[in-house]
């Protein structure tokens, strides 16, 4: 044991500590020197790197504070030239005492590369053996790669000096300049918060472009370089259009100089909004054919991260309790930007994504969008979910309906101008909107943003009424459209209403189906009368307005989960709807819901084969009806593969003999076929054969998923080891294994593991942390084991104490899903 290695675990920063520290110090400059060649470290090539940080800061003289350092080893630390004792480093913090008015602290450490996507992540590409690095500092991982005062409201300019292998490209939050062989300097004069400082280094392949005076860079690992070239035109177009849109809309130009988008491996989130250099998952540089709907989703993500350059990066939240505001805002504005300024209209996708938020808002773990307090940094992460994104964005959309666009945008411009390069709170934004003309916004926010849960808009006797949830009552007025459909599904009548406390009798004078929120504008659950469902099934194929179909589908998903709609009837509705559905994003989501839920946990095992066969027939018919080479043909084929039960059919497709014209067996389709075929037949050789033909990182994930799904005791035992024991596998391989493990039709094989999941999952906190810990538990949750007995076991596990927070959250949500399936089976069989 070396005296300079801390034996204590880092602790999460308390809000009170952050407030105290911010009142005491001002950071004036950050200089970070990294050696990524390991030349200065002994015998640890590839595992460790050297990091030296020099921080200039002003302080209340005589005071004390601490900085954050989560290295492997502290080599040295000095404050104003005096060495600090090794014991000053504890719990991931270095104590600083006897501060002067102007101070300089220098910290040198040995740091470990990470494999879980947080800190400085290291990936070796199996395609060619090249090494790629990228840094993810969110939410409190910055001290894993450099010493700092890690909180959002201690911003500072940064200068990085980096030593890297000669052939590497190095980029970061500011322009990167090569100053010597393998030596780079990156300077960002604009103040940055620690959580969005990044570095991307490796033999990345790049495309560069210039738009409206802004240098654009797109980067991906070399083995995807050709694919990046193919995607570059679309990426450049969307990025340029979004810049133009935000410049028009926000009244402040993009402030960080160059704008890089690094597509990186093993990325946990969709993307991260580091100023000047976003990191984004490299699955979005497609290796296989992608549909327009996929590209639209990618455009939404690009526009989302760009919106953050203003909202989050230019003006940053003071503390994590306003994290929701960053996400809700970026989500809402990005959908608007793509719809108004690119060729990817996104409101349908917005409506589909709302399901994510409605599930979260009806789970026992629900919480208000705003104002949870976030007593410490890690607590904030627990509330970072579908409520922050989908619900928050939908509520902002209602806010725009309430304020009007002029007030909404006027307030935003005021907010950016007033708080540029600094920090602000939600109250500051409310004040800005109020200055722009908003009235009574505090009351509005209390009802929509500071109260959990959602209203139900119910149709009964031809009238629409608002029902507030009993456990979270609130007074919300919904600005919505109501439509009446005729016998064929066409809109016979449509009207705008303000729905508050009293039922709205609109349209009650006529017969026909009434659809509340017909334009999908509010945040609510739509409940049809029980007798309406067979009538909706009868007309769904004739409803010509896509937004109305979307509202019906979302209502069906909620009603199934509430045990208010027989899953068999929901399946009839979807099967009747798919042939006429014009929106690919909706078609894909509803076919997926039918497969994963209606023929999964919401289906009695005895009926599973028959329901799956029906769904399969509909996907085959959709393939046959679609034009050769069309997106719909591809979507239908993708949906047909996992519902196929006949190995001969799959073999014919895989061999190419019976593959319909217009489809080509690219990597993804080949993997889909091999996965399904090996799951049905138990033939592990197929997976290894495919892997020999495709040595990419993505192939390793496909293989991990397929191996876990094999119907043999040996395969399950091996997969279980990967899931529940420490290993050197990447987090992505663990996620893929979790996704493949519990499969329909493997109940007997899985029975023991269902019980073991609840016994053993708690111990994974001993070797996994953060995102990877919760995500693995969530993906591996045995939600197909629908029985009262397993539900009781799950509840008993939750009642015990000692579960780490991310595990507890994953188990609460998984158990809510299981409980709903049990209730539906109790009622409908």
Q: In angstroms, what is the minimal distance from the CB of 304 to Zn ion?
A: 5
Closest CA to 222 of 818, 618, 696: 696
Q: In angstroms, what is the minimal distance from the CB of 327 to Zn ion?
A: 5
Q: Is-contact 125 221, C-beta < 8 A?
A: yes
Q: Look at the chain and count its residues.
A: 829
Stretch in the footprint of Zn ion (CB under 5 A) among 115-123, 185-193, 329-337, 652-660: 329-337
Show the site string, 281-320: x = touches Zn ion by CB under 5 A, - = not.
Answer: ----------------------------------------
> Which is nearer to Zn ion, 41 or 393 (by Cβ)?
393
Stretch in the footprint of Zn ion (CB under 5 A) among 259-267, 324-332, 575-583, 798-806: 324-332
> Which is nearer to Zn ion, 112 or 330 (by Cβ)?
330
130 CB burial (10 A radius; 0-12, 13-18, 19+): middle
Task: Kindly report the number of other CB atoms within 10 A of residue 615's CB atom.
Answer: 22
Q: In angstroms, what is the minimal distance from the CB of 312 to Zn ion?
A: 7
Number of Cα atoms under 13 Å in the Cβ half of residue 344: 28
- Rounded distance, CA 223 to CA 204, Å? 9
Encoded tokens for 353: 């994504």
- The CA–CA distances, whole Å, from 534 to 461, 494, 538, 543, 829 equal 17, 22, 6, 14, 19
Q: Is-contact 791 819, C-beta < 8 A?
A: yes
Helices 605-625 and 631-643, packing angle to 10 deg? 160
Q: In angstroms, what is the minimal distance from the CB of 349 to Zn ion?
A: 16
- Is 118 marked active-site? no
- Rounded distance, CA 697 to CA 659, Å? 27
> Which is nearer to Zn ion, 264 or 551 (by Cβ)?
264
- Label the pairing between strands 463-467 and 316-317: unpaired
> Which is nearer to Zn ion, 159 or 269 (by Cβ)?
269
Q: In angstroms, what is the minimal distance from the CB of 322 to Zn ion?
A: 13
> Which is nearer to Zn ion, 327 or 584 (by Cβ)?
327
Q: Which residue among the candidates 110, 118, 305, 521 is catalytic per the annotation?
A: 305
Stretch in the footprint of Zn ion (CB under 5 A) among 326-334, 353-361, 706-714, 807-815: 326-334
- The values of phi and psi at residue 63, to 5°, are -80, 175
Number of residues that bind Zn ion (CB under 5 A): 2
Number of Cα atoms under 13 Å in the Cβ half of residue 13: 30
- Rounded distance, CA 290 to CA 296, Å? 10
Task: Kindly report the number of other CB atoms within 10 A of residue 641's CB atom.
Answer: 21
Q: Is-contact 375 14, C-beta < 8 A?
A: yes
List, in sequence order, the alpha helices (H) in 540-663: 546-561, 567-577, 584-593, 605-625, 631-643, 647-655
Stretch in the footprint of Zn ion (CB under 5 A) among 85-93, 330-338, 664-672, 798-806: 330-338
- Label the pairing between strands 82-83 and 89-90: unpaired
394 binds Zn ion (CB under 5 A): no
Q: In angstroms, what is the minimal distance from the CB of 346 to Zn ion?
A: 15
Q: In angstroms, what is the minimal distance from the CB of 300 to Zn ion?
A: 11
Stretch in the footprint of Zn ion (CB under 5 A) among 19-27, 321-329, 370-378, 513-521: 321-329
> Which is nearer to Zn ion, 152 or 672 (by Cβ)?
152
Closest CA to 133 of 214, 42, 48: 48
Identify residues 649-668 at the interface with Zn ion (CB under 5 A). Answer: none
Q: In angstroms, what is the minimal distance from the CB of 135 to Zn ion?
A: 17
Stretch in the footprint of Zn ion (CB under 5 A) among 138-146, 316-324, 328-336, 788-796: 328-336
> Which is nearer to Zn ion, 314 or 556 (by Cβ)?
314
- Label the pairing between strands 259-264 and 214-220: parallel
Q: In angstroms, what is the minimal distance from the CB of 138 to Zn ion?
A: 10
> Which is nearer to Zn ion, 242 or 563 (by Cβ)?
242
Residue closest to Zn ion (Cβ) = 330
> Which is nearer to Zn ion, 279 or 619 (by Cβ)?
279
Closest CA to 93 of 122, 58, 64, 117: 64
Identify residues 448-467 at the interface with Zn ion (CB under 5 A). Answer: none
Contact residue for Zn ion among 55, 330, 395, 677 (CB under 5 A): 330
Residues that bind Zn ion (CB under 5 A): 327, 330
Catalytic residue annotation: 305
């Amino acid at each position: 044991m070396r005296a300079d290695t801390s034996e204590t675990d880092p602790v999460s920063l308390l809000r009170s500590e952050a407030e105290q520290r911010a009142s005491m110090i001002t950071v004036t400059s950050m200089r970070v020197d990294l050696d990524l060649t390991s030349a200065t470290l002994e015998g640890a090539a590839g595992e460790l790197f050297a990091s030296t940080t020099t921080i200039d800061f002003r302080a209340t003289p005589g005071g004390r504070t601490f900085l954050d350092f989560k290295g492997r080893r502290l080599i040295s630390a000095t404050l104003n030239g005096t060495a600090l004792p090794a014991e000053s480093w504890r719990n991931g913090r270095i104590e600083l005492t006897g501060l002067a008015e102007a101070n300089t602290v220098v910290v040198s450490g040995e740091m470990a590369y990470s494999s879980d996507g947080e800190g400085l992540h290291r990936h070796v590409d199996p395609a060619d053996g090249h090494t790629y690095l990228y840094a993810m500092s969110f939410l409190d991982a910055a001290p894993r790669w450099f010493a700092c005062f890690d909180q959002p409201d201690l911003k500072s300019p940064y200068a990085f000096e980096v030593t890297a292998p000669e052939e590497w490209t190095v980029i970061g939050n500011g322009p990167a300049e090569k100053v010597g062989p393998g030596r780079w300097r990156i300077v960002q004069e604009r103040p940055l918060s620690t959580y969005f400082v990044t570095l991307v280094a490796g033999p990345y392949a790049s495309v560069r472009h210039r738009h409206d005076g802004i240098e654009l860079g797109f980067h991906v690992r070399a083995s995807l370089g050709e694919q990046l070239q193919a995607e570059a035109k679309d990426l450049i177009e969307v990025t340029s259009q979004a810049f133009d849109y935000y410049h028009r809309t926000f009244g402040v130009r993009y402030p960080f100089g160059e704008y890089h988008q690094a597509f990186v491996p093993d990325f946990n989130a969709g993307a991260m909004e580091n100023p000047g250099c976003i990191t984004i998952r490299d699955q979005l540089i497609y290796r296989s054919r992608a549909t327009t709907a996929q590209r639209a989703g990618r455009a939404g993500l690009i526009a989302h991260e760009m919106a953050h350059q203003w909202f989050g990066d230019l003006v940053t939240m003071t503390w994590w309790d306003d994290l929701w505001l960053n996400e809700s805002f970026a989500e809402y504005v990005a959908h608007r930007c793509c719809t108004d300024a690119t060729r990817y209209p996104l409101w349908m996708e917005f409506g589909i994504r709302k399901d994510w938020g409605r599930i979260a808002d009806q789970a026992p773990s629900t919480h208000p969008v705003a104002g949870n307090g976030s007593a410490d940094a890690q607590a904030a992460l627990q509330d970072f979910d579908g409520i922050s994104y989908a619900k928050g964005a939908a509520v902002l959309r209602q806010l725009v309906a309430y304020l009007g666009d002029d007030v909404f945008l006027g307030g935003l411009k005021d907010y950016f101008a007033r708080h540029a390069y600094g920090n602000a709170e939600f109250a500051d934004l409310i004040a800005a909107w109020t200055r722009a003309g908003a009235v009574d916004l505090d009351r509005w926010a209390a009802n929509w943003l500071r109260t959990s849960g959602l209203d139900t808009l119910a149709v009964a006797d031809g009238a629409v009424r608002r029902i507030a949830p009993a456990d979270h009552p609130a007074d919300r007025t919904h600005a919505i459209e109501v439509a009446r459909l005729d016998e064929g599904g066409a809109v016979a009548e449509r009207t705008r209403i303000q729905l508050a406390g009293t039922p709205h009798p609109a349209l009650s004078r006529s017969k026909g189906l009434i659809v509340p929120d017909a334009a999908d504008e509010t945040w609510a659950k739509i409940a049809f009368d029980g007798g309406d469902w067979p009538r909706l099934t009868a007309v769904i194929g004739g409803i010509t307005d896509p937004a109305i179909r979307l509202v019906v589908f979302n209502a069906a998903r909620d009603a199934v989960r509430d045990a208010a709609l027989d899953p068999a009837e929901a399946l009839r509705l979807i099967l009747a709807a798919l042939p006429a559905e014009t929106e690919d994003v909706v078609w894909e989501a509803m076919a997926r819901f039918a497969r994963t839920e209606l023929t999964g946990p919401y289906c009695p095992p005895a009926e599973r084969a028959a329901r799956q066969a029906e769904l399969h027939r509909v996907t085959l018919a959709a393939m046959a009806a679609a034009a050769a080479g069309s997106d719909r043909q591809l979507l239908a084929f993708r949906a047909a593969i996992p519902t196929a039960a006949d190995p001969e059919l799959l073999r014919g497709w895989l061999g190419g003999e019976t593959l319909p014209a217009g489809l080509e067996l690219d990597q993804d389709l080949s993997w889909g076929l091999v996965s399904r075929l090996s799951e049905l037949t138990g033939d592990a050789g197929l997976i290894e054969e495919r892997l020999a033909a495709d040595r990419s990182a993505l192939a390793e994930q496909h293989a991990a998923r397929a191996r876990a799904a094999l119907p043999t005791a040996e395969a399950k035992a091996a997969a279980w080891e990967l899931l529940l024991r420490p290993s050197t596998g990447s987090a992505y391989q663990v996620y893929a294994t979790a996704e493949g493990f519990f499969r329909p039709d493997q109940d007997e094989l899985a029975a023991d593991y269902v019980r073991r999941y609840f016994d053993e999952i708690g111990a994974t906190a001993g070797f996994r942390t953060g995102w990877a810990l919760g995500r693995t538990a969530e993906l591996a949750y045995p939600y197909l084991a629908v029985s009262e007995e397993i539900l009781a076991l799950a509840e008993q596990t939750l009642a015990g104490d000692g579960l780490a927070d991310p595990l507890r959250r994953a188990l609460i949500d998984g158990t809510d899903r299981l409980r709903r399936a049990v209730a539906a089976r109790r009622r409908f069989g």
